[in-house]
């Protein structure tokens, strides 16, 4: 399985998962035009996307999902609450899933969703499994890593996980106190420290790559996130650690391959 972030952050998120027979987008939070041009850079015809899974209703994850699914003729999947919040009920291409149900997203890829706590939404983390049984996780927008999520992540060969903010920068920064509380609360986002702690518990010999994503542009910096996470895992992790920026795609990870491949446009 190949994992490519089309970009990630508060202005849009989308991850392409490709297997020999299938292409799946986890979230579609950029405009339709931008998403198509990002796919073009990867030589992927949008009409070859089989499924778009939307993790939750926030627009940085859902923006063009419905239009894309109609234009490209692919499946659109979400849970019932996300479909309700986005007023997608009754849409012909929509399939509604329940948490912890195995979803066939293409001929050789299935998805499992795990509920995570996030702001007034029913957000999910996604674990994708290819026909060789290799697993990749996409985990963003959660205030806390649950024990259930950790147990799933321990079986993954690739993990994309958010490292949203540096706690000092958030607390000293210009956000109003109420927003600081929301971001750092149980329904907010993961700090670099929380992500480092979770990964410390998760890292295992078959985990070949980690991508840190959804970094806040106001309250974080790539080198701060990277060094905090590395500090937590460097004694046990031999794979690659990369950062997905707001505007990608910059690189792809292949499961089983330790170095990401740069994308040359």
Q: Report the residue number, 4 or 10, with the smaller CB distance to Zn ion.
A: 10
Q: Residue 259 Cβ, how far from Zn ion at the closest point, in Å?
A: 28
Q: Residue 186 Cβ, how far from Zn ion at the closest point, in Å?
A: 14
Q: Could you say whether residue 58 binds Zn ion (CB under 5 A)?
A: yes
Considering only residues 129 to 148 of the shown chain, the ones binding Zn ion according to CB under 5 A are 141
Sign of torsion over alpha carbons 186, 188, 192, 195:
positive
Q: Could you say whether residue 27 binds Zn ion (CB under 5 A)?
A: no
Phi, psi of 261 (to 5 degrees): -100, 125
Sheet containing strand 2-7, edge to edge, reads 94-97, 75-79, 51-53, 23-26, 14-18, 2-7, 251-254, 261-262
Q: Report the residue number, 85 or 154, with the smaller CB distance to Zn ion.
A: 85
Q: Could you say whether residue 60 binds Zn ion (CB under 5 A)?
A: yes
Decide if 4 contacts 252 (C-beta within 8 A): yes
Number of residues that bind Zn ion (CB under 5 A): 3
Q: Report the residue number, 129 or 170, with the smaller CB distance to Zn ion.
A: 170
Considering only residues 137 to 196 of the shown chain, the ones binding Zn ion according to CB under 5 A are 141
**187 Cβ partners below 8 Å, 6+ apart?**
117, 118, 119, 120, 143
Q: Could you say whether residue 122 binds Zn ion (CB under 5 A)?
A: no
Q: Residue 3 Cβ, how far from Zn ion at the closest point, in Å?
A: 18
CA distance 49 to 26: 11
* Encoded tokens for 82: 């996300």
Q: Report the residue number, 58 or 63, with the smaller CB distance to Zn ion.
A: 58
Q: Which residues bind Zn ion (CB under 5 A)?
A: 58, 60, 141
């Amino acid at each position: 399985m190949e994992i490519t972030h089309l970009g990630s952050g508060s202005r849009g998120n989308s991850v392409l998962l490709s297997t020999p027979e299938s292409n799946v987008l986890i979230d579609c939070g950029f405009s339709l035009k931008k998403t198509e041009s990002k796919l073009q850079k990867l030589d992927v015809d949008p009409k070859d996307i089989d499924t778009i899974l939307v993790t939750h209703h926030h627009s940085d994850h859902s923006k063009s999902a419905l239009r894309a699914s109609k234009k490209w003729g692919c499946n659109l999947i979400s849970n019932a609450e996300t479909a309700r919040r986005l007023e997608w009920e009754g849409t012909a291409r929509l399939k509604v899933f329940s948490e912890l149900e195995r979803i066939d997203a293409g001929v050789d890829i299935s998805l499992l969703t795990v509920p995570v706590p996030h702001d007034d939404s029913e957000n999910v983390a996604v674990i994708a499994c290819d026909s060789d049984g290799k697993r990749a996780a996409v985990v963003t927008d959660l205030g806390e890593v649950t024990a259930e999520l950790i147990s799933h992540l321990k079986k993954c060969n690739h993990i994309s996980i958010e490292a949203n903010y540096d706690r000092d920068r958030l607390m000293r920064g210009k956000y109003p106190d109420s927003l600081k509380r929301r971001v750092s609360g149980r329904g907010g986002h993961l700090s670099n420290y929380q992500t480092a702690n979770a990964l410390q518990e998760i890292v295992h010999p078959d985990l070949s790559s980690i991508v840190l994503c959804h970094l806040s542009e106001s309250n974080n910096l790539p080198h701060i996130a990277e060094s905090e996470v590395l500090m937590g895992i460097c004694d046990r992790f031999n794979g690659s650690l990369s950062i997905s920026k707001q505007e990608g795609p910059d690189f792809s990870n292949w499961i089983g391959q330790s170095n990401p491949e740069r994308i040359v446009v």
